[in-house]
């Protein structure tokens, strides 16, 4: 058998529902029938029904097979996943909607995530697979969504609310542009394993890897190695990426920071980066209670105060960040003031102020 290479992925057409194929590019409008249930109407008058369910993203083959079975039973075998890791069944028969919803709920997969809800949490590997992780990702998502899932199954928020978790500042996923982002961080300079460093790493490459120039050559026990100027280290872990002897993990000092007000869409306002809300919360598995209640609090405050169709960052921009800190009760600290390249542009350069808290 000749070895097959570079064939790329299977062509998507093979996987399209016949109704979709017929109406491809000819959709007219859509309606929401219930949270998690959409109906897209084609120019031809045909309708495709979508039932969306939450997924833990980390799926065993047995669950995959279960999804396949559900698809066979209710959607002619057609299904897809979304850009936020939800699963969507594509039905031509509306009579199958309720049975499918029941089956999904029984199997433990909540239906929802559409429109002005909290959809699935985009997240990363964490302790499941990544060497770089300052925290776990899946566990935080599970703990958080156990608390927030009513906002998944109901469309009860002013606008879409996108939550994301990244287990380190590499920020795999669009964490930097999320309504609420939970970010694993280090808070101590690398601990250097001088014994293994020489063998494992090239010292010049290592020194060059540090964006702040905190790493310099040193001699320890007569051997060439490096040391780190502590004040200059911003715990970015870039040195660890190029050299495993620069250990970043530190159970006491690693933890989570919370960022808010980012968005991706161009709807109304331009895309925005998330901004720091809480600089540090402890890494507290298995349920990260500090993180969960901090996020739930922010969601509550937002839900109560924002106007209709106002994303979290649009709300904070309208009412002002001081109001955000006041309403959430989160203390404003020196860490909230930027000190990076563009810091100056984040200072308040006007007298536009709401002076009565």
* Interface map 155-184 toward another protein (x if CB under 8 A): --------------xxxxxxxxx-----x-
Distance between CA 304 and CA 194 in Å, rounded?
Answer: 53
CB proximity list for 302: less than 8 A, separation 6 or greater: 157, 158, 161, 312, 315
Does residue 303 interact with another protein by CB under 8 A? no
Check residue 175 and report its DSSP letter.
G
The answer to whether 132 touches 237, Cβ cutoff 8 Å, is yes
Q: Tell me how far, at minimum, the Cβ of 276 lies from its own copies, in Å.
A: 18
Name the nearest CA neighbour of 86 among 134, 49, 123, 45.
123
Distance between CA 332 and CA 276 in Å, rounded?
Answer: 10
Does residue 125 interact with ligand SF4 by CB under 6 A? yes
Instruction: Return the ∠ at Cα 90 (arms to 84 and 93), rounded to 5°.
Output: 150
* Torsion on CA atoms 30, 35, 37, 38, rounded to nearest 10: 10
Does residue 345 interact with another protein by CB under 8 A? yes
Does residue 185 interact with another protein by CB under 8 A? yes
Does residue 311 interact with ligand SRM by CB under 6 A? yes
Nearer to ligand SRM, 46 or 290 (CB): 46
Sign of CA dihedral 147, 151, 157, 163: positive
Nearer to ligand SRM, 52 or 255 (CB): 52
Does residue 239 interact with ligand SF4 by CB under 6 A? yes
The region that residue 112 occupies, defined by phi over 0 for left and psi between -120 and 50 for alpha, beta otherwise, is: left
Does residue 228 interact with ligand SF4 by CB under 6 A? yes
Among 37, 87, 215, 258, interactor with ligand SF4 by CB under 6 A: 215
For 125, the 3-state DSSP assignment is: coil
Among 196, 249, 297, 328, interactor with another protein by CB under 8 A: 249
Q: Tell me how far, at minimum, the Cβ of 339 lies from ligand SF4, in Å.
A: 14
Does residue 159 interact with ligand SRM by CB under 6 A? yes
Does residue 92 interact with another protein by CB under 8 A? no
Does residue 186 interact with ligand SRM by CB under 6 A? no
Does residue 274 interact with ligand SRM by CB under 6 A? no
Does residue 15 interact with another protein by CB under 8 A? yes
> 2 is in the binding site of which of its own copies, ligand SRM, ligand SF4, none (Cβ under 5 to 8 A by kind)?
none
Distance between CA 189 and CA 191 in Å, rounded?
Answer: 7
Name the nearest CA neighbour of 84 among 52, 108, 116, 60.
52
For 286, the 3-state DSSP assignment is: coil
Does residue 205 interact with ligand SF4 by CB under 6 A? no
Q: Tell me how far, at minimum, the Cβ of 267 lies from its own copies, in Å.
A: 10
Among 2, 5, 60, 83, interactor with ligand SRM by CB under 6 A: 83
Site residues for ligand SRM per CB under 6 A: 30, 38, 82-84, 86, 113-115, 119-120, 122, 124-125, 129-130, 132, 159-160, 162, 170-174, 241, 263-265, 267, 311
């Amino acid at each position: 058998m000749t070895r097959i290479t570079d064939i790329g992925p299977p062509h998507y057409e093979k996987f399209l529902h016949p109704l979709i194929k017929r109406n491809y590019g000819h959709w007219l409008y859509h309606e929401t029938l219930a949270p998690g249930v959409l109906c897209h109407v084609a120019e031809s008058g045909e309708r495709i029904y979508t039932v969306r369910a939450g997924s833990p993203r980390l799926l065993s083959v047995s669950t995959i097979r279960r999804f396949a079975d559900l698809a066979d039973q209710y959607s002619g075998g057609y299904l897809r996943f979304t850009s936020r890791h939800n699963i969507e069944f594509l039905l031509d028969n509306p009579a199958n909607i309720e049975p499918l919803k029941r089956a999904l709920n029984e199997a433990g997969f909540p239906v929802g995530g559409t429109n002005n809800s909290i959809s699935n949490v985009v997240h990363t590997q964490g302790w499941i697979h990544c060497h770089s992780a300052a925290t776990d990702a899946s566990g935080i998502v599970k703990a958080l969504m156990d608390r927030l899932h009513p906002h998944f199954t109901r469309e009860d928020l002013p606008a879409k609310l996108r939550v994301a978790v990244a287990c380190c500042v590499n920020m795999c996923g669009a964490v930097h542009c999320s309504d609420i982002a939970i970010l694993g961080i280090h808070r101590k300079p690398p601990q250097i394993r001088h014994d293994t460093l020489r063998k494992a790493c090239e010292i010049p490459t290592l020194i060059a890897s540090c964006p702040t120039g905190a790493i310099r050559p040193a001699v320890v026990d007569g051997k060439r190695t490096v040391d780190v100027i502590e004040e200059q280290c911003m715990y970015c872990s870039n040195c660890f990426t190029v050299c495993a002897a620069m250990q970043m993990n530190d159970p006491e000092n690693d933890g989570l920071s919370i960022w808010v007000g980012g968005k991706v869409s161009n709807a109304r306002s331009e895309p925005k980066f998330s901004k720091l809300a809480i600089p540090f919360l402890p890494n507290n598995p298995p349920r990260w209670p500090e993180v969960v209640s901090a996020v739930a609090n922010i969601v509550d405050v937002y839900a109560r105060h924002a106007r209709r169709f106002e994303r979290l960052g649009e709300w904070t921009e309208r009412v002002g960040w001081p109001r955000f800190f006041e309403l959430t009760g989160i203390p404003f600290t020196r860490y909230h003031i930027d000190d990076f390249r563009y810091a100056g542009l984040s200072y308040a350069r006007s007298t536009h102020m709401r002076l009565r808290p």
